[in-house]
Amino acid sequence: MSLIDLPNPEWIELLKAEAAKGKPIAQIAREVGMARPSVSMLIRGTYPAKSLDLVTRKHGAAVMQLYRDQMMCPHLRCGISAEDCRAFASAPMSTSNPEKLKHWGACRACSLNPTKGGADA
What is the per-residue pLDDT across 38-83, written as a single tens digit (0 to 9) for each? 999 999 999 988 788 888 888 988 898 898 888 888 898 888 988 9
Q: How far apart are CA 20 and CA 35, in angstroms?
A: 19
Predicted TM-score (pTM) above 0.85 = no
**Is the pLDDT at 14 greater than 90, yes or no?**
yes
Q: How far apart are CA 37 and CA 75, in angstroms?
A: 28
Residue type (1 letter), 10? E
Contact yes or no for 106/74 (Cβ under 8 A): yes
Q: How far apart are CA 47 and CA 81, in angstroms?
A: 28
pLDDT band (50, 70, 90) for residue 4: low
Predicted confidence at residue 11, as pLDDT, reads 92
**Is the pLDDT at 92 greater than 60, yes or no?**
yes
Q: What are phi and psi of 79, to 5 degrees?
A: -80, 140
For the purposes of burial, counting CB atoms within 10 Å of the CB of 90, is it exposed (0-12), middle (13-18) or buried (19 or more)?
exposed
Q: How far apart are CA 23 and CA 100, in angstroms?
A: 39
